[in-house]
Amino acid sequence: MDQNEAYQLAMREASSAAWDQNWPQAIEAYGRALQIVPNEPQALAGLALALLESRRYQDALAAYQKISSIVPSDPMPHEKLAFIYESLGQEDEAADEYLAAGEIYLARKELARAIPNWEMAVRYNSNLAQAHMRLALAYERDPASHELAVYEYLHVARLLQMMKQVQRAGQALQRAMSLDPINSDIRNALDDLKRNNLIQVPDSGQGVLQVEPHPGEKATSPGYETEEDEFLEAAESEKLERTPVGEAARYAMGVLADIIWTGEVPETAQAPLLEAIDAHQVGDVDMAISAYLDAKSAGLRHPAMRFNLGVLYHYSRRYDEAIEVLSQVSSYDDYSVASYLMLGQSAIAQDNLQDAAEYLLLALKGADVQLNEQAVDENGYERLLSAVKNQSGEQLKELVQALSFWLDDSNWREKIHDALSNYAAQNKVSYVPDLIELVIEGGKPELSLLLQEVDRYLQQNMLHLATEEAHHAIERSPDYLPAHRRLADILLREARTQEAVTKINLVANTYLLRGNADKAADLFAEVIELWPADTSARERVIDMLRNQGRVADALRQYGEMAELYYRLLADPDKAVEIYNQALSYARQANADPVHTVPILKALADIEGQRLNWRKALSNYERATEIDPEDQTVALSIVDLQFQLGDTREAIKALDGFLRRCVQSRDYDRVTSTLEDQIRRRPEIIPLRQRLAEVYRQQGRIQDAITQMDALGELQLDAGRLDEAVATIRRIVDMNPPDVDGYIQLLDQLEHGK
């Protein structure tokens, strides 16, 4: 047995033991796994949980500390460490871990999950200035939580006063005053600060911050999620009114203001940074640049400051300096789109069109990544970036002008979101060519306006006027393919499908002549959607996609062609042949295994329909090796094992599925699955045993008794007397209302023995 097999065996044993809550055995198995693969996070996490459940707190502490060092960006170890420290009565250490967890959630932009951790941090250590400051800023965002923000600012002022930072303490109190001008506690605190008396924070503000978590569970903040959702919606609508640069600059300004409050700015850099922010806000560019440079010289290296400096350089036409600074922050998610957009515009100003095209394509890709809820077409962007160097000056000029015009727009988010949603609705995996065409179309305002009119008429079903506007656009620019494509849409609306297909084919061939094979393949695929039985056209598309290396799209076309043969042409043998061709191609092309799962499931479905259950099972097992979380596949394997009469393997497969449900805390799925299995197979003893135990653990005692009653009858019918006696005893132990009848039955069974 090689190391990998030994490791997997140990992990399976450990997981099974954990499922049975046999923590000593789980600890031993996880230990063996870690001897084979030291410091493997999954095994460490399992070991840590087993130690925690065994109340071996010191050992669990060491395990979670190791996980935290290996995966520093995961908040879970810190939350577990905090719980352990609570159990050990080490409140300061618990507070530090809650603070660390909150900071990680903040970095992930998961504010709703950060807040409960900060609340717990100040609950256990009221002198954590950073946690109080984070809470104050978070609560300030919604008027409904301003009272909480005020008391947090009072705490911040108290702690700053203790650190001899009187001026900053006064600023915190002024910020509280802006939220509640008539609050007497704030006025008292200001008076204490002026008289050099220790600021007092009233007890009335403490209780509202404390949230009692259930042991082992994350704290929650009642009502906050709704408040945060409302805040985010308002922020989102605000963002729609800004260009990428304006939006990022505003965010950067807020970050700079916050880090002054939280003490992250070196003391020597605070004064020049404040001067820079003031100058930037009033539009004094030279003064702002000078002050930002002074802050930088004083040791401030924050990306928000560098971004703002780059913005000012760009708008001062100091393009070399802008490019140098913006290149340093373009890798930061918060500034990526805006940085690449300004880098591209700076390169355009220097007449460096190739660099400009690359920068602006990266800006478009960054916006795509930020807004796309589906998978991003990474290969499409790579092909496009690779093709830039081979484009003519005229092509580059058209591309960079269009990208700059399209992205530097207050509605950039809405435009990209709408485009991406449209591609997702069409199940397009390789959509970048379409997106670029849309951008270039939008970069020609006069033609774009004509096509907007076409679309408006199409929405109102005014086909004659739509046709006139499309022809008008073609008269202005005969080779403007989007207008020709609109004519095909109009023909489809008029039910002139054959003419529409001819038009689309002409447009596709033109794209081929222009070297845009990606777009041509998409259009030929559209022809297939209109004429699905045209298998020769589909084979041509598959060949094109394979030549372009578009593996996922090619596999999708294979699947659709096989489905055509199976469903429409009633030729399952041909369908199986095509699916196998797809699997062979997937191996040759090193396809992402995820893309082969639908093929394996389709093959299994066909074989199952033909009663070739073992072949179907083999395909499902291959699919579950690739995607163990696919519930449909997992339950299909259970059904097939029962169908084959192999109850033991069926139960084993079912236990594996239920274990994964428990690990993902999907307890309702555990119950519903067992209930469904028993409805279909009421005579299977192990199913009754498992459902009875689940009901018992859930406190559904009467339901558990009902299952055990049926279980006892099945055991008696099967001649398994000892097991039936054990089952009746368990019912008696649960003391049901009719316990005397069960006691009498138990006496009869034992006497009969």
* The pLDDT value given to residue 340: 95
**Cα separation values, 358 from 141, 343, 485, Å:** 38, 10, 28
CA proximity to 607, closest of 596, 618, 597: 618
Superfamily of domain 243-350: Tetratricopeptide repeat domain (1.25.40.10)
Cβ distance 585 to 558 under 8 Å? yes
* The pLDDT value given to residue 532: 66
* Chain position carrying tokens 């009869």: 748
305-315, pLDDT tens digit by residue? 999 999 999 98
- The CA dihedral of 463, 466, 470, 475, to the nearest 10 degrees, is 100
CA 681, 687, 692, 698 torsion-angle sign:
negative
How far apart CA 26 and CA 13 sit, in angstroms, is 7
Burial class (CB in 10 A: 0-12, 13-18, 19+), 98: buried
Which residue pairs from 445-454 have beta carbons closer than 8 angstroms and sit at least 24 positions apart in sequence?
445/405, 446/476, 447/473, 447/476, 447/477, 447/480, 447/482, 447/483, 450/476, 450/483, 451/482, 451/483, 451/486, 454/483, 454/486
Residue numbers of the chain with a pLDDT score lower than 50: 204-241
140-149, pLDDT tens digit by residue? 888 888 889 9
Q: What residue type is 44 in one-letter code?
A: L
What tokens were used for 265?
Answer: 């700015």
Q: What residue type is 527 in one-letter code?
A: V
Measured in whole angstroms, how far is the alpha carbon of residue 730 from the centre of its chain? 45
Three-state SS annotation for 643-700: HCCCHHHHHHHHHHHHHHHHHCCCHHHHHHHHHHHHHHCCCCHHHHHHHHHHHHHCCC
Cβ distance 381 to 361 under 8 Å? yes
How far apart CA 654 and CA 647 sit, in angstroms, is 10
**Cα separation values, 278 from 166, 253, 299, 426, Å:** 22, 10, 20, 49
585-599 burial, b for 16+ CB within 10 Å, e for fewer?
Answer: bbeebebeeebbbeb
Q: Mean pLDDT over all residues of the chain?
A: 82
Please, where are the H alpha helices in 330-462? Answer: 336-349, 353-371, 378-387, 393-407, 412-425, 432-442, 445-459
How far apart CA 45 and CA 14 sit, in angstroms, is 12
* Strand, helix or coil for residue 678: helix
CA proximity to 121, closest of 70, 78, 172: 78
Q: What residue type is 636 in one-letter code?
A: S
Beta strands in 22-102 (DSSP E): none
Domain spans in the chain, listed from the N-terminal domain onward: 3-211+218-228, 243-350
How far apart CA 253 and CA 263 sit, in angstroms, is 16
* Chain position carrying tokens 């479905």: 605
**Residue 165: other Cβ atoms inside 10 A:** 17
Measure the CA angle with vertex 191, ends 186 and 195; round to 5°. 150
* The pLDDT value given to residue 534: 59
Whole-structure pTM over 0.85, yes or no?
no
Q: How does DSSP classify residue 262? A: T
Helix (DSSP H) and strand (DSSP E) numbers for the chain: 40, 0
DSSP 728-746: HHHHHHT--TTHHHHHHHH
Three-state SS annotation for 171-216: HHHHHHHHHCCCCHHHHHHHHHHHCCCCCCCCHHHCHHHCCCCCCC
Measured in whole angstroms, how far is the alpha carbon of residue 539 from the centre of its chain? 36
Percent of the chain with pLDDT over 70: 90
CA proximity to 265, closest of 296, 309, 310: 296
Burial class (CB in 10 A: 0-12, 13-18, 19+), 184: exposed
**Residue 265: other Cβ atoms inside 10 A:** 22
- Please tell me if the domain spanning 3-211+218-228 has the same topology as the one spanning 243-350: yes
**Cα separation values, 189 from 532, 581, 606, Å:** 76, 77, 76
What tokens were used for 225?
Answer: 């999620």
**Cα separation values, 169 from 20, 121, 229, 366, 537, Å:** 55, 21, 31, 40, 74
* The pLDDT value given to residue 533: 61
Cβ distance 199 to 168 under 8 Å? no
The topology under which CATH files domain 3-211+218-228 is 1.25.40
**Residue 225: other Cβ atoms inside 10 A:** 14
Cβ distance 95 to 125 under 8 Å? yes
How far apart CA 527 and CA 391 sit, in angstroms, is 29
What tokens were used for 559?
Answer: 């699947």
Measured in whole angstroms, how far is the alpha carbon of residue 749 from the centre of its chain? 58
Cβ distance 599 to 558 under 8 Å? yes
How far apart CA 691 and CA 673 sit, in angstroms, is 9
